[in-house]
Chain A
Amino acid sequence: DGGITQSPKYLFRKEGQNVTLSCEQNLNHDAMYWYRQDPGQGLRLIYYSQIVNDFQKGDIAEGYSVSREKKESFPLTVTSAQKNPTAFYLCASSIFGGGTYEQYFGPGTRLTVT
């Protein structure tokens, strides 16, 4: 079964702790993306990567970090610098970057920081 997996589905952390969200794809897609979704709102781009070992900041990158050491993996770290980290995080991938192709999404991770 090809697709995107995100783990865990629910994540709870104490304020001040860094936390890493996992995203893995076996679709052989070049591009991967991280979005944040707050209740009743659309998707906001955090980071994206069009190729291995390269990534760019999206619209709300402050307080987040990523790595892309392998084509199939794009983990997101929510650092303690992120002022309001509680949200629903979605990972996506597409065949290539450039925005030409549709994105395929994982099931999401719901992060709660107290």
Chain B
Amino acid sequence: ETGVTQTPRHLVMGMTNKKSLKCEQHLGHNAMYWYKQSAKKPLELMFVYNFKEQTENNSVPSRFSPECPNSSHLFLHLHTLQPEDSALYLCASSPSPRGSDTQYFGPGTRLTVL
């Protein structure tokens, strides 16, 4: 559909677990993003990558660790999360990080931290 896939779609983890979220875009874009979506709150931008280089870290706690091995793949490594980290995590991509470039979102990973 949108050309951006995310796995897994659902994840339940304990506070001491380590897990990773994966995002892949098939659109040939150069910019990729991680967002956190919580109920009744605006989408929160977490990280921005442009040509594999991190260009923005929006004061995200170190228990979230992004990795971008190439322009098509983006990972979010999770460790020692807190229950308040439970949310929908969305990956997006765009041709470039220009503010007016359309961002294409994946379906998200629904994360529950017990």
Q: Do A and B come from one complex?
A: no
Residues of B within 8 A of A (CB): none
